[in-house]
Amino acid sequence: MKEAISASDGSGRTIPQWEFVAMMAALMSLGALAIDGMLPALDEIARSLGVSDPNQRQLIVGLYLLASGAGCLVPGSFADRFGRRPVLLVTLGIYVTTALLCAVAPSFGALLALRCLQGFGTAGLSVLPAAIIRDRYEGDQMAKLLSTIFIVFMVVPVLAPSMGDAVLKVGSWHWVFVAMAVLAALVALWTALRLPETLHPEDVQPMEFKTVLHNLPLTFRTRTAVGYVVGSGLTFGALFGYINSAQQLIGEHFNANEAFPVIFGATASTLAVSSFTNSRIVERFGARRVSHSALCAFIVISAVQVWAAHYQPHSLMLFVPLMSANLCLLGFMGANFGSIAMQPFEHTAGAASSVQSFVRMLIGAGLGILIGQAYDDSARPMAHALLICSLLSLGLVLFSERWRLFRRPHDARKYLAMHEVH
Protein backbone atom coordinates (compact mmCIF):
# COMPACT_ATOMS: atom_id res chain seq x y z
CA MET A 1 0.00 0.00 0.00
CA LYS A 2 2.60 2.52 -1.16
CA GLU A 3 0.74 4.42 -3.88
CA ALA A 4 0.50 8.17 -3.27
CA ILE A 5 -2.80 10.03 -3.63
CA SER A 6 -2.22 13.32 -5.44
CA ALA A 7 -4.43 16.37 -5.80
CA SER A 8 -6.57 16.88 -8.91
CA ASP A 9 -6.63 20.67 -8.57
CA GLY A 10 -3.01 21.37 -9.52
CA SER A 11 -1.99 22.24 -5.96
CA GLY A 12 0.69 19.53 -5.89
CA ARG A 13 -0.51 18.20 -2.52
CA THR A 14 0.01 14.44 -2.11
CA ILE A 15 -0.62 11.90 0.63
CA PRO A 16 0.67 8.31 0.88
CA GLN A 17 -2.02 5.66 0.54
CA TRP A 18 -1.56 4.30 4.07
CA GLU A 19 -2.25 7.77 5.48
CA PHE A 20 -5.18 8.22 3.10
CA VAL A 21 -6.71 4.97 4.38
CA ALA A 22 -6.20 6.03 8.01
CA MET A 23 -7.73 9.46 7.33
CA MET A 24 -10.83 8.07 5.60
CA ALA A 25 -11.28 5.63 8.47
CA ALA A 26 -10.93 8.44 11.01
CA LEU A 27 -13.54 10.54 9.21
CA MET A 28 -16.02 7.67 9.06
CA SER A 29 -15.25 6.78 12.67
CA LEU A 30 -16.47 10.13 13.95
CA GLY A 31 -19.99 9.14 12.96
CA ALA A 32 -19.62 5.81 14.75
CA LEU A 33 -18.25 7.61 17.80
CA ALA A 34 -21.33 9.86 17.92
CA ILE A 35 -23.44 6.69 18.11
CA ASP A 36 -21.54 4.08 20.09
CA GLY A 37 -19.82 6.49 22.48
CA MET A 38 -23.27 7.46 23.77
CA LEU A 39 -24.43 3.97 24.73
CA PRO A 40 -22.92 3.75 28.26
CA ALA A 41 -24.20 7.26 29.02
CA LEU A 42 -27.86 6.70 28.08
CA ASP A 43 -28.87 5.70 31.63
CA GLU A 44 -27.20 8.70 33.23
CA ILE A 45 -28.59 11.11 30.61
CA ALA A 46 -32.11 9.75 31.20
CA ARG A 47 -31.80 10.17 34.98
CA SER A 48 -30.19 13.61 34.71
CA LEU A 49 -32.81 14.99 32.32
CA GLY A 50 -35.84 13.33 33.88
CA VAL A 51 -36.75 10.74 31.23
CA SER A 52 -39.26 8.20 32.58
CA ASP A 53 -39.90 5.92 29.58
CA PRO A 54 -36.87 3.59 29.30
CA ASN A 55 -37.23 3.28 25.52
CA GLN A 56 -37.13 7.07 25.05
CA ARG A 57 -33.41 7.21 25.81
CA GLN A 58 -32.81 5.26 22.58
CA LEU A 59 -33.89 8.36 20.64
CA ILE A 60 -30.55 10.00 21.47
CA VAL A 61 -29.05 7.49 19.04
CA GLY A 62 -32.02 6.81 16.76
CA LEU A 63 -32.81 10.43 15.90
CA TYR A 64 -29.14 11.15 15.22
CA LEU A 65 -29.13 8.31 12.68
CA LEU A 66 -32.41 9.42 11.11
CA ALA A 67 -31.28 13.04 10.75
CA SER A 68 -27.97 11.88 9.35
CA GLY A 69 -29.84 9.94 6.69
CA ALA A 70 -31.96 12.96 5.76
CA GLY A 71 -28.85 15.14 5.59
CA CYS A 72 -27.11 12.83 3.14
CA LEU A 73 -28.86 14.50 0.20
CA VAL A 74 -27.05 17.79 0.80
CA PRO A 75 -23.24 17.37 0.80
CA GLY A 76 -22.75 15.28 -2.34
CA SER A 77 -24.01 17.89 -4.81
CA PHE A 78 -22.02 20.64 -3.08
CA ALA A 79 -18.93 18.41 -3.20
CA ASP A 80 -19.45 17.80 -6.94
CA ARG A 81 -19.50 21.57 -7.48
CA PHE A 82 -17.02 23.03 -4.96
CA GLY A 83 -14.74 20.05 -4.29
CA ARG A 84 -14.47 17.44 -1.56
CA ARG A 85 -12.11 19.30 0.81
CA PRO A 86 -14.12 22.48 1.56
CA VAL A 87 -17.39 20.61 2.10
CA LEU A 88 -15.66 18.10 4.34
CA LEU A 89 -14.08 20.83 6.46
CA VAL A 90 -17.43 22.58 6.92
CA THR A 91 -18.93 19.25 8.01
CA LEU A 92 -16.21 18.77 10.61
CA GLY A 93 -16.78 22.29 11.92
CA ILE A 94 -20.48 21.52 12.41
CA TYR A 95 -19.57 18.31 14.24
CA VAL A 96 -17.37 20.12 16.75
CA THR A 97 -19.87 22.93 17.33
CA THR A 98 -22.93 20.71 17.82
CA ALA A 99 -21.04 18.31 20.12
CA LEU A 100 -20.16 21.22 22.41
CA LEU A 101 -23.76 22.46 22.33
CA CYS A 102 -25.01 18.96 23.26
CA ALA A 103 -22.71 19.07 26.28
CA VAL A 104 -24.64 22.05 27.69
CA ALA A 105 -28.17 21.01 26.63
CA PRO A 106 -30.60 22.14 29.38
CA SER A 107 -33.32 19.53 28.74
CA PHE A 108 -33.96 16.20 27.05
CA GLY A 109 -35.97 17.87 24.29
CA ALA A 110 -33.13 20.32 23.62
CA LEU A 111 -30.63 17.45 23.53
CA LEU A 112 -32.74 15.54 20.99
CA ALA A 113 -33.06 18.68 18.83
CA LEU A 114 -29.29 19.22 18.94
CA ARG A 115 -28.65 15.57 18.11
CA CYS A 116 -30.90 15.95 15.05
CA LEU A 117 -28.95 19.06 14.04
CA GLN A 118 -25.68 17.23 14.59
CA GLY A 119 -26.79 14.23 12.53
CA PHE A 120 -28.09 16.38 9.66
CA GLY A 121 -25.07 18.69 9.60
CA THR A 122 -22.48 15.93 9.73
CA ALA A 123 -24.03 13.61 7.15
CA GLY A 124 -21.05 14.36 4.93
CA LEU A 125 -18.98 12.01 7.10
CA SER A 126 -20.87 9.07 5.59
CA VAL A 127 -21.14 10.56 2.08
CA LEU A 128 -17.82 12.21 1.26
CA PRO A 129 -15.33 9.40 2.03
CA ALA A 130 -17.10 7.13 -0.48
CA ALA A 131 -17.03 9.89 -3.12
CA ILE A 132 -13.34 10.62 -2.45
CA ILE A 133 -12.47 6.93 -2.77
CA ARG A 134 -14.58 6.60 -5.94
CA ASP A 135 -12.60 9.51 -7.46
CA ARG A 136 -9.51 7.26 -7.40
CA TYR A 137 -10.72 3.65 -7.47
CA GLU A 138 -13.42 1.45 -8.99
CA GLY A 139 -14.80 -2.09 -8.93
CA ASP A 140 -13.21 -4.79 -6.81
CA GLN A 141 -10.20 -2.52 -6.14
CA MET A 142 -12.56 0.00 -4.56
CA ALA A 143 -14.20 -2.78 -2.54
CA LYS A 144 -10.77 -3.91 -1.34
CA LEU A 145 -9.81 -0.38 -0.23
CA LEU A 146 -13.17 0.11 1.50
CA SER A 147 -12.64 -3.15 3.37
CA THR A 148 -9.17 -2.02 4.43
CA ILE A 149 -10.65 1.25 5.69
CA PHE A 150 -13.39 -0.67 7.52
CA ILE A 151 -10.70 -2.60 9.42
CA VAL A 152 -9.48 0.64 10.99
CA PHE A 153 -12.97 2.12 11.16
CA MET A 154 -14.36 -0.84 13.12
CA VAL A 155 -11.94 -0.23 15.99
CA VAL A 156 -14.28 2.61 17.02
CA PRO A 157 -17.42 0.55 17.78
CA VAL A 158 -15.15 -1.73 19.81
CA LEU A 159 -13.51 1.06 21.81
CA ALA A 160 -16.19 3.80 21.83
CA PRO A 161 -18.38 2.29 24.59
CA SER A 162 -15.27 1.78 26.71
CA MET A 163 -14.24 5.38 26.03
CA GLY A 164 -17.68 6.61 27.06
CA ASP A 165 -17.58 4.41 30.14
CA ALA A 166 -14.12 5.72 31.06
CA VAL A 167 -15.29 9.34 30.75
CA LEU A 168 -18.28 8.59 32.98
CA LYS A 169 -15.96 7.24 35.67
CA VAL A 170 -14.22 10.62 36.00
CA GLY A 171 -17.00 13.01 35.02
CA SER A 172 -20.63 13.42 33.99
CA TRP A 173 -22.26 12.55 30.65
CA HIS A 174 -21.58 16.11 29.43
CA TRP A 175 -17.89 15.27 29.10
CA VAL A 176 -18.64 12.48 26.61
CA PHE A 177 -19.72 15.17 24.13
CA VAL A 178 -16.68 17.30 24.96
CA ALA A 179 -14.41 14.34 24.22
CA MET A 180 -16.18 13.88 20.87
CA ALA A 181 -15.61 17.54 20.01
CA VAL A 182 -11.89 17.35 20.85
CA LEU A 183 -11.34 14.24 18.71
CA ALA A 184 -13.27 15.79 15.80
CA ALA A 185 -11.17 18.97 16.02
CA LEU A 186 -7.97 16.91 15.77
CA VAL A 187 -9.27 15.05 12.71
CA ALA A 188 -10.32 18.38 11.15
CA LEU A 189 -6.80 19.77 11.61
CA TRP A 190 -5.27 16.64 10.06
CA THR A 191 -7.66 16.82 7.10
CA ALA A 192 -7.02 20.53 6.50
CA LEU A 193 -3.25 20.05 6.48
CA ARG A 194 -2.93 16.80 4.55
CA LEU A 195 -5.94 15.82 2.39
CA PRO A 196 -5.57 16.67 -1.34
CA GLU A 197 -8.53 17.59 -3.50
CA THR A 198 -9.59 14.47 -5.46
CA LEU A 199 -12.36 15.88 -7.63
CA HIS A 200 -11.18 16.02 -11.25
CA PRO A 201 -11.83 19.42 -12.90
CA GLU A 202 -13.68 17.75 -15.78
CA ASP A 203 -16.09 16.14 -13.30
CA VAL A 204 -17.18 19.42 -11.66
CA GLN A 205 -20.99 19.62 -11.79
CA PRO A 206 -22.85 22.95 -11.95
CA MET A 207 -25.14 23.73 -9.00
CA GLU A 208 -28.17 24.05 -11.24
CA PHE A 209 -31.49 22.76 -9.96
CA LYS A 210 -32.03 20.63 -13.06
CA THR A 211 -28.57 19.05 -12.62
CA VAL A 212 -29.34 18.16 -9.01
CA LEU A 213 -32.72 16.74 -10.05
CA HIS A 214 -30.99 14.61 -12.67
CA ASN A 215 -28.14 13.33 -10.51
CA LEU A 216 -29.91 12.55 -7.25
CA PRO A 217 -32.63 10.15 -8.51
CA LEU A 218 -30.21 8.37 -10.85
CA THR A 219 -29.63 5.53 -8.39
CA PHE A 220 -33.33 4.67 -8.47
CA ARG A 221 -33.25 4.44 -12.26
CA THR A 222 -30.17 2.21 -12.30
CA ARG A 223 -31.16 -1.42 -11.81
CA THR A 224 -27.59 -2.56 -11.09
CA ALA A 225 -27.48 -0.24 -8.06
CA VAL A 226 -30.93 0.15 -6.52
CA GLY A 227 -31.27 -3.37 -5.10
CA TYR A 228 -27.91 -3.13 -3.35
CA VAL A 229 -28.66 0.31 -1.90
CA VAL A 230 -32.11 -0.56 -0.52
CA GLY A 231 -31.00 -4.06 0.46
CA SER A 232 -28.08 -2.78 2.51
CA GLY A 233 -30.42 -0.24 4.14
CA LEU A 234 -32.63 -3.11 5.32
CA THR A 235 -29.81 -5.23 6.75
CA PHE A 236 -28.21 -2.25 8.45
CA GLY A 237 -31.63 -1.27 9.80
CA ALA A 238 -31.62 -4.49 11.79
CA LEU A 239 -28.11 -3.62 12.97
CA PHE A 240 -29.24 -0.15 14.07
CA GLY A 241 -32.08 -1.83 15.96
CA TYR A 242 -29.44 -3.79 17.87
CA ILE A 243 -27.39 -0.64 18.54
CA ASN A 244 -30.45 1.29 19.76
CA SER A 245 -31.51 -1.41 22.21
CA ALA A 246 -28.09 -2.94 23.03
CA GLN A 247 -27.70 -1.25 26.39
CA GLN A 248 -31.14 -2.43 27.55
CA LEU A 249 -30.85 -5.85 25.92
CA ILE A 250 -27.40 -6.73 27.30
CA GLY A 251 -27.52 -4.69 30.49
CA GLU A 252 -31.07 -5.42 31.61
CA HIS A 253 -32.50 -8.46 29.79
CA PHE A 254 -29.28 -10.48 30.05
CA ASN A 255 -28.35 -8.77 33.36
CA ALA A 256 -24.79 -7.95 32.25
CA ASN A 257 -24.67 -4.17 32.69
CA GLU A 258 -21.14 -4.07 34.11
CA ALA A 259 -19.83 -6.11 31.20
CA PHE A 260 -21.77 -4.15 28.54
CA PRO A 261 -18.78 -2.29 26.99
CA VAL A 262 -16.81 -5.53 26.74
CA ILE A 263 -19.68 -7.58 25.29
CA PHE A 264 -20.71 -4.88 22.81
CA GLY A 265 -17.09 -4.40 21.77
CA ALA A 266 -16.57 -8.15 21.38
CA THR A 267 -19.56 -8.52 19.05
CA ALA A 268 -18.57 -5.44 17.03
CA SER A 269 -14.95 -6.58 16.69
CA THR A 270 -16.02 -9.39 14.37
CA LEU A 271 -16.79 -6.72 11.77
CA ALA A 272 -13.12 -5.77 11.73
CA VAL A 273 -12.10 -9.41 11.27
CA SER A 274 -14.46 -9.91 8.32
CA SER A 275 -13.47 -6.58 6.76
CA PHE A 276 -9.81 -7.62 6.93
CA THR A 277 -10.64 -10.99 5.37
CA ASN A 278 -12.77 -9.34 2.70
CA SER A 279 -9.91 -7.02 1.72
CA ARG A 280 -7.76 -10.09 1.09
CA ILE A 281 -10.25 -12.16 -0.92
CA VAL A 282 -12.52 -9.72 -2.78
CA GLU A 283 -10.25 -9.18 -5.80
CA ARG A 284 -9.82 -12.92 -6.19
CA PHE A 285 -13.46 -13.96 -5.89
CA GLY A 286 -15.28 -10.74 -6.77
CA ALA A 287 -17.51 -8.47 -4.68
CA ARG A 288 -20.66 -10.22 -5.87
CA ARG A 289 -19.75 -13.77 -5.01
CA VAL A 290 -18.42 -12.78 -1.58
CA SER A 291 -21.37 -10.59 -0.61
CA HIS A 292 -24.02 -12.96 -1.97
CA SER A 293 -22.54 -15.85 0.01
CA ALA A 294 -22.46 -13.67 3.14
CA LEU A 295 -26.11 -12.64 2.68
CA CYS A 296 -27.25 -16.25 2.41
CA ALA A 297 -25.28 -17.17 5.54
CA PHE A 298 -26.75 -14.11 7.31
CA ILE A 299 -30.26 -15.42 6.65
CA VAL A 300 -29.38 -18.81 8.17
CA ILE A 301 -27.84 -17.24 11.31
CA SER A 302 -30.84 -14.93 11.66
CA ALA A 303 -33.19 -17.92 11.57
CA VAL A 304 -31.19 -19.45 14.43
CA GLN A 305 -31.47 -16.10 16.26
CA VAL A 306 -35.26 -16.34 16.05
CA TRP A 307 -35.18 -19.88 17.45
CA ALA A 308 -32.86 -18.84 20.29
CA ALA A 309 -34.98 -15.78 21.17
CA HIS A 310 -38.02 -18.01 21.65
CA TYR A 311 -36.56 -21.19 23.12
CA GLN A 312 -33.37 -19.99 24.89
CA PRO A 313 -34.41 -16.41 25.69
CA HIS A 314 -32.05 -15.80 28.62
CA SER A 315 -28.92 -17.50 27.26
CA LEU A 316 -26.24 -14.82 26.93
CA MET A 317 -23.76 -17.54 25.97
CA LEU A 318 -25.89 -18.31 22.91
CA PHE A 319 -26.81 -14.70 22.05
CA VAL A 320 -23.24 -13.36 21.93
CA PRO A 321 -21.83 -15.81 19.32
CA LEU A 322 -24.95 -15.54 17.17
CA MET A 323 -24.90 -11.73 17.22
CA SER A 324 -21.16 -11.80 16.56
CA ALA A 325 -21.75 -14.01 13.53
CA ASN A 326 -24.41 -11.63 12.17
CA LEU A 327 -22.09 -8.65 12.55
CA CYS A 328 -19.18 -10.59 11.07
CA LEU A 329 -21.21 -11.35 7.93
CA LEU A 330 -22.13 -7.66 7.59
CA GLY A 331 -18.41 -7.04 7.08
CA PHE A 332 -18.56 -9.10 3.89
CA MET A 333 -21.67 -7.25 2.72
CA GLY A 334 -21.29 -3.54 3.55
CA ALA A 335 -18.20 -2.55 1.55
CA ASN A 336 -19.04 -4.88 -1.34
CA PHE A 337 -22.66 -3.74 -1.63
CA GLY A 338 -21.45 -0.11 -1.54
CA SER A 339 -18.79 -0.70 -4.19
CA ILE A 340 -21.21 -2.47 -6.55
CA ALA A 341 -23.80 0.28 -6.13
CA MET A 342 -21.25 3.05 -6.86
CA GLN A 343 -19.75 1.38 -9.91
CA PRO A 344 -21.99 3.00 -12.58
CA PHE A 345 -21.39 6.56 -11.31
CA GLU A 346 -17.85 7.49 -12.31
CA HIS A 347 -18.57 11.13 -13.17
CA THR A 348 -21.21 11.95 -10.54
CA ALA A 349 -19.75 10.14 -7.53
CA GLY A 350 -20.67 12.89 -5.05
CA ALA A 351 -24.37 13.04 -5.97
CA ALA A 352 -24.53 9.24 -6.24
CA SER A 353 -22.91 8.78 -2.84
CA SER A 354 -25.34 11.33 -1.38
CA VAL A 355 -28.49 9.65 -2.63
CA GLN A 356 -27.22 6.16 -1.81
CA SER A 357 -26.24 7.18 1.72
CA PHE A 358 -29.59 8.98 2.06
CA VAL A 359 -31.55 5.86 1.13
CA ARG A 360 -29.42 3.50 3.23
CA MET A 361 -29.42 5.71 6.31
CA LEU A 362 -33.09 6.72 6.12
CA ILE A 363 -34.24 3.12 5.75
CA GLY A 364 -31.71 1.86 8.28
CA ALA A 365 -32.31 4.56 10.89
CA GLY A 366 -36.10 4.43 10.51
CA LEU A 367 -36.11 0.67 10.94
CA GLY A 368 -33.63 0.95 13.80
CA ILE A 369 -35.96 3.29 15.72
CA LEU A 370 -38.97 1.02 15.10
CA ILE A 371 -37.05 -2.08 16.21
CA GLY A 372 -35.63 -0.30 19.24
CA GLN A 373 -39.01 1.07 20.31
CA ALA A 374 -40.47 -2.45 19.96
CA TYR A 375 -38.05 -3.69 22.64
CA ASP A 376 -40.06 -5.75 25.14
CA ASP A 377 -37.36 -6.96 27.52
CA SER A 378 -36.49 -9.78 25.13
CA ALA A 379 -34.41 -10.37 21.99
CA ARG A 380 -37.45 -11.40 19.93
CA PRO A 381 -38.14 -8.10 18.09
CA MET A 382 -34.52 -7.78 17.00
CA ALA A 383 -34.24 -11.45 15.97
CA HIS A 384 -37.39 -11.25 13.83
CA ALA A 385 -36.12 -8.03 12.25
CA LEU A 386 -32.78 -9.63 11.34
CA LEU A 387 -34.51 -12.47 9.51
CA ILE A 388 -37.18 -10.42 7.75
CA CYS A 389 -34.78 -7.67 6.63
CA SER A 390 -32.20 -10.12 5.28
CA LEU A 391 -34.84 -12.05 3.31
CA LEU A 392 -36.11 -8.80 1.75
CA SER A 393 -32.51 -7.80 1.00
CA LEU A 394 -31.95 -11.07 -0.85
CA GLY A 395 -35.01 -10.38 -3.00
CA LEU A 396 -33.73 -6.90 -3.88
CA VAL A 397 -30.25 -8.17 -4.76
CA LEU A 398 -31.83 -10.80 -7.00
CA PHE A 399 -33.75 -8.00 -8.74
CA SER A 400 -30.57 -6.02 -9.40
CA GLU A 401 -28.79 -9.15 -10.67
CA ARG A 402 -31.72 -10.21 -12.88
CA TRP A 403 -32.35 -13.23 -10.65
CA ARG A 404 -28.80 -14.61 -10.86
CA LEU A 405 -26.44 -14.74 -7.88
CA PHE A 406 -22.72 -15.55 -7.55
CA ARG A 407 -21.63 -14.04 -10.86
CA ARG A 408 -17.97 -14.45 -11.64
CA PRO A 409 -15.91 -11.25 -11.64
CA HIS A 410 -15.54 -11.09 -15.45
CA ASP A 411 -19.27 -11.70 -15.91
CA ALA A 412 -20.03 -8.89 -13.45
CA ARG A 413 -17.74 -6.44 -15.28
CA LYS A 414 -19.41 -7.30 -18.57
CA TYR A 415 -22.82 -6.83 -16.98
CA LEU A 416 -21.89 -3.49 -15.45
CA ALA A 417 -20.51 -2.28 -18.76
CA MET A 418 -24.06 -2.33 -20.09
CA HIS A 419 -25.06 0.39 -17.54
CA GLU A 420 -28.71 -0.46 -17.96
CA VAL A 421 -30.83 2.42 -16.75
CA HIS A 422 -34.61 2.12 -16.53
Secondary structure of the chain in the HEC alphabet? CCCEEECCCCCCCEEEHHHHHHHHHHHHHHHHHHHHCCHHHHHHHHHHCCCCCCCHHHHHHHHHHHHHHHHCCCHHHHHHHHCHHHHHHHHHHHHHHHHHHHHCCCCHHHHHHHHHHHHHHCCHHHHHHHHHHHHHCCHHHHHHHHHHHHHHHCHHHHHHHHHHHHHHHHCCCHHHHHHHHHHHHHHHHHHHHHCCCCCCHHHCCCCCHHHHHHHHHHHHHEHHHHHHHHHHHHHHHHHHHHHHHHHHHHHHHCCCCCCHHHHHHHHHHHHHHHHHHHHHHHHHHCHHHHHHHHHHHHHHHHHHHHHHHHHCCCCHHHHHHHHHHHHHHHHHHHHHHHHHHHCCCCCCHHHHHHHHHHHHHHHHHHHHHHHHHCCCCCCHHHHHHHHHHHHHHHHHHHHHCCCCCCCCHHHHHHHHHCCCEC
Spatial separation of the C-alpha atoms in residues 238 and 376, rounded to whole Å: 16
Check residue 154 and give its pLDDT: 65
Per-residue pLDDT of the chain (422 residues; tens, 9 = 90+): 456 666 665 566 788 888 888 898 899 889 888 988 888 899 899 999 998 888 899 999 999 989 998 888 788 778 888 889 999 999 999 999 999 999 999 999 999 999 999 999 998 898 888 788 878 777 667 777 776 777 666 677 677 888 888 899 888 999 999 999 999 999 999 999 999 888 888 778 776 656 556 666 777 788 889 999 999 999 989 888 998 899 899 988 999 988 888 898 888 888 878 878 888 888 888 899 999 999 999 999 999 999 999 999 999 999 999 999 999 999 899 889 988 988 887 776 666 777 888 888 889 989 999 999 999 999 999 999 999 999 999 999 999 998 999 876 555 455 444 544 44
The neighbouring-strand residues paired with 152 are none
Which of 259, 219, 221, 256 is CA-nearest to residue 360?
219
Check residue 416 and give its pLDDT: 46
**Predicted TM-score of the model (pTM):** 0.78
Check residue 421 and give its pLDDT: 44
Domain 15-197+204-417: what homologous superfamily?
MFS general substrate transporter like domains (1.20.1250.20)
Check residue 152 and give its pLDDT: 67
Check residue 215 and give its pLDDT: 62
Q: For the chain, which residues make up each domain, given as ranges?
A: 15-197+204-417
Which of 267, 17, 270, 34 is CA-nearest to residue 149?
17
Answer whether 53's CB lies under 8 Å from 112's CB: no
Count of CB atoms situated within 10 Å of the CB of 140: 23
Check residue 134 and give its pLDDT: 78
Check residue 263 and give its pLDDT: 92
